[in-house]
Amino acid sequence: MASFSQVSPAHHRASLSKLTDSAQIPSFSTKPTTLIRYLSTAAARTAYQTQTHSSRESPRDFQQYPNDFYREMGGFNNVGPVKSDQEAIEQAQDTGPNGTIEELDAFMKDGKLKEALEVLGLMEKRGVFVDSGCYLRLLKACGDYKSIEEGKAVHGHIERSSNSRIEVRVYNQILEMYSKCGAMDDAYQLFEKMPQRNLTSWDTMIHGFKA
């Protein structure tokens, strides 16, 4: 089959023009080979549309499309003296978590996802939401440890904490988490609902179905 670079732009416009609408995405019950073929073709269209302006994640993308993860950041200014990760873990184990960013970071670094989610829940009750970078690290850890339940919980936190647009890079990390956990049905359901996709989105789904 001819590579993307070997096919003329006119051919791409003619053969891929029907792939614009998300409503035309095939259902998850479609044969895996058909889904992969569809995703590969749609990814090629995305590549064609972004030859000049790359749509991969970058700090510039984040600045251009800020979301509401940074609201209520004032809660982080009153957590007291900075503690080491070990001190934060020991205190949380002795007296119970207080719902601070220090505890959350410490548990994430130590791979204690259930404890990290407990802290995240306490912070949510206080109306304090973490930045997108923290969610990205949590999602990556859930995928690496194949902790699907914790990953779904983080996904829920993200949707509740953002009353505006969720960044594409955050969506992509959720897709990757589901893919690593072998939950391609959950990944596909999210993929269908995404308001915007980029090359990373398509690549993640293609590799997930091939795995």
Residue 201: predicted pLDDT = 97
Residue 70: predicted pLDDT = 36
Dist. CA 135–CA 74, nearest whole Å: 18
| The Cα angle at residue 159 between residues 124 and 22, in degrees rounded to 5 | 175
pLDDT per residue as tens, the chain (211 positions): 444 444 444 444 444 344 444 445 667 666 677 778 878 887 877 776 666 454 444 444 434 333 333 333 333 334 444 455 566 656 555 556 788 889 999 999 899 999 999 999 999 999 888 999 999 999 999 999 999 999 999 999 999 988 768 999 999 999 999 999 999 999 999 999 999 999 999 999 999 999 8
pTM for this entry = 0.66
Do residues 149 and 205 both lie within one domain?
A: yes
> Which residue type is seen at 106?
A
Do residues 100 and 112 both lie within one domain?
A: yes
Do residues 171 and 116 both lie within one domain?
A: no
Do residues 115 and 163 both lie within one domain?
A: no
- Taking only the tens place, the pLDDT of each residue in 14-50 is 443 444 444 456 676 666 777 788 788 878 777 766 6
Do residues 105 and 208 both lie within one domain?
A: no
Do residues 91 and 158 both lie within one domain?
A: no
Number of domains in the chain: 2
Do residues 95 and 137 both lie within one domain?
A: no
Residue 177: predicted pLDDT = 98
Residue 49 lies in a domain: yes
Residue 90 domain boundaries: 72-128
What three-state secondary structure class fits 49?
A: helix
Do residues 110 and 147 both lie within one domain?
A: no
Backbone angles phi, psi at 7, to 5 degrees: -100, 135
Phi-psi region at 197: left, alpha or beta (left = phi > 0; alpha = psi -120 to 50): beta
Residue 56 lies in a domain: yes
Residue 137: predicted pLDDT = 95
